[in-house]
Amino acid sequence: MNPFTKRSIIIGVVSILALILFLILNPFSWNDAGNRTVVERTTGEQIVQFAPGIFYAGFFAKEKAWPNQISVTYQDTNAQLEIEDNGIEVGQIMVRFSDATTANVKGITQFILPSDEKEMILIHNTHRTPQSLVVKRLAPYTKECLQSSAQLMSSEKHYGGGRAQMSQDFMDQLKDGVYLLKTEENVVFDSLEREKKRIYQTQIQYDKKTNAPKRKLSSIKEYGITVADAAITDVDYEDQVDEKLKKIIDAVTKSSISKQELMTAQQQTLTAKAKGEQALVEIEYQQKQEQTRQVVEAETRVKVAEQEKLQQKVAYDASILEAKKIKELADAQAYARAKIMRADGALEMKLKAQVEVQKVWAEAFSKYTGAIVPQFQTGGGTTSNGALNFMDIMTAKTAKDFALDMKNTNQSTAQ
């Protein structure tokens, strides 16, 4: 065999053995994201690798991976103490309310492990595994806080709107420690049985100086563990509570129906009353309208009468003035005629009368059938005809009756 070939084989075998030994005694390790790794070296030194990736652990070092967050779930009936998705199922938690009734609670609580190396090493040295930490510290602490929160209220109060308050009390105790409680005796009215009962209520103790709740020392704060979140997803009451709540619900429902019927009846009464009042208002309004109309008509008639009276007065005054005017005019005319008659001796009237007289006897004379003048005259005597004598007589008589003076009085006077 070629010495060179033999040497190569020996080197190759040694290299393989060295590689195998290196892999077995590998001083490097790997930390997954979301975890931290606690390393125990042969020298007794302990370190915690928080950053993800490869790191130097040392030869023959022991390593233990811890999740950064651990979830304590209590959803199932039975516990499953294996880590799954950084959570451990511890089973449903039974709580007892202040009225001694019980319920099974479902929920989840998330805890954050400390980022301080010393605190993490303390947790590792105390519990060694995440399962031990959950079973011996986190789960009991969660149960204690949950039961303490339930003791602060009755199941009826919890059902009637105390869920949020219970969740708030639960979260507050998880973060800062369990409340120190005290029991007080009180007399309350049982809405279901409708009688007074003596009950014992659990109250929080408060510091007189700071007025802050008194608490039990938190079993997780000393290790630097904090609470990320906590949620109560369901509360399953015992059968006794369900029956009691059912009776309460039925009673409340009947009471609500009765109240609703009462409110409906009251509303109908108010509606009827309102409609009656509205009808009265409408009637009153119509009557007032009629009264107003009658008043307006009466006032209108009065004003019309006053206007007519005023017009009549004006007409009366006008008629008086007109009569006065006519009288004055007649007086003036009479005075004028009297003046004229005194001035001319009533010549015009006399002439008119004379004319009328002449018309009468002229008409009568026209009907005379005898001879006006003599048909035969035999001498130069002064004998006259009867007709002519009649004419002379009538003329003289008329003149005498009217005392006719054909001469103008003014002229005669002037002469």
* Rounded CA separation 67/83 (Å): 10
Residues 125 and 228 in one domain: yes
Measured in whole angstroms, the distance separating CA 132 from the mean position of its chain's CA atoms is 61
How many Cα atoms occupy the beta-carbon half-sphere of 218 within 13 Å? 17
pLDDT at residue 353, rounded to an integer: 72
Among the candidates 342, 375, 397, a domain finishes at 342
Residues 111 and 252 in one domain: no
How many residues does the structure list for the chain? Answer: 415
Residue 30 lies in a domain: yes
The mean pLDDT value for 279-304 works out to 85
Residue 86 lies in a domain: yes
In the block, which residue shows the tokens 């998880």?
Answer: 174
* Rounded CA separation 275/41 (Å): 95
Of 407 and 21, the structure prediction assigns the larger pLDDT to 21
pLDDT at residue 399, rounded to an integer: 64
Q: CA triplet 312, 315, 318: central angle to 5 degrees?
A: 150
3-state class (DSSP) for residue 108: strand
Min mean pLDDT across 5-14, 44-53, 71-80, 129-138 is at: 5-14
Residue 78 lies in a domain: yes
Residues 83 and 225 in one domain: yes
Q: Does residue 412 surpass a pLDDT of 50?
A: no
Of 17 and 2, the structure prediction assigns the larger pLDDT to 17
* Rounded CA separation 162/329 (Å): 117
Residues 90 and 193 in one domain: yes
* Rounded CA separation 184/192 (Å): 22
pTM: 0.57
- Domain count of the chain? 4
Among the candidates 209, 237, 265, a domain finishes at 237
3-state class (DSSP) for residue 137: helix
Among the candidates 195, 210, 237, a domain finishes at 237
The mean pLDDT value for 273-291 works out to 84
Q: CA triplet 319, 329, 356: central angle to 5 degrees?
A: 120
Residues 259 and 328 in one domain: yes
Tokens of 300: 């209108």
Residues 52 and 110 in one domain: no
Which amino acid, 275?
K
Residues 99 and 205 in one domain: yes
Which one-letter DSSP state was computed for residue 221? G
Residues 186 and 263 in one domain: no
- CA-nearest of 184, 216, 214 to 199 is 184
Residues 36 and 77 in one domain: no
Residue span of the structural domain in which 356 resides? 345-366+387-415
Of 350 and 411, the structure prediction assigns the larger pLDDT to 350
Of 397 and 406, the structure prediction assigns the larger pLDDT to 397
Residue 374 lies in a domain: no
Residues 6+ apart with CB under 8 A from 307: none
Query: Mutual orientation of helices 163-176 and 139-150 as an angle, nearest 10°?
Result: 140
pLDDT at residue 370, rounded to an integer: 63
Residues 36 and 124 in one domain: no
Q: Are 137 and 199 in contact (CB under 8 A)?
A: no
* Rounded CA separation 67/79 (Å): 20
Q: Are 235 and 163 in contact (CB under 8 A)?
A: yes
Residue 85 lies in a domain: yes
Residues 136 and 263 in one domain: no
CATH number of the domain enclosing 215: 3.30.479.30
Residues 81 and 150 in one domain: yes
Residue 95 lies in a domain: yes
Residue 372 lies in a domain: no
Min mean pLDDT across 60-64, 77-81, 223-227, 385-389 is at: 385-389
Residue 52 lies in a domain: yes
Q: Mean pLDDT of all residues in the chain?
A: 81
Strand partners, 88: 72
Chain segment 303-338, per-residue pLDDT in tens: 888 888 888 888 788 778 877 878 777 777 777 777
Of 86 and 351, the structure prediction assigns the larger pLDDT to 86
Of 65 and 309, the structure prediction assigns the larger pLDDT to 65
pLDDT at residue 413, rounded to an integer: 44
* Rounded CA separation 29/48 (Å): 12
Q: Does residue 207 surpass a pLDDT of 80?
A: yes
Of 204 and 355, the structure prediction assigns the larger pLDDT to 204
Q: Are 156 and 193 in contact (CB under 8 A)?
A: no
Q: Does residue 402 surpass a pLDDT of 60?
A: no
pLDDT at residue 180, rounded to an integer: 92
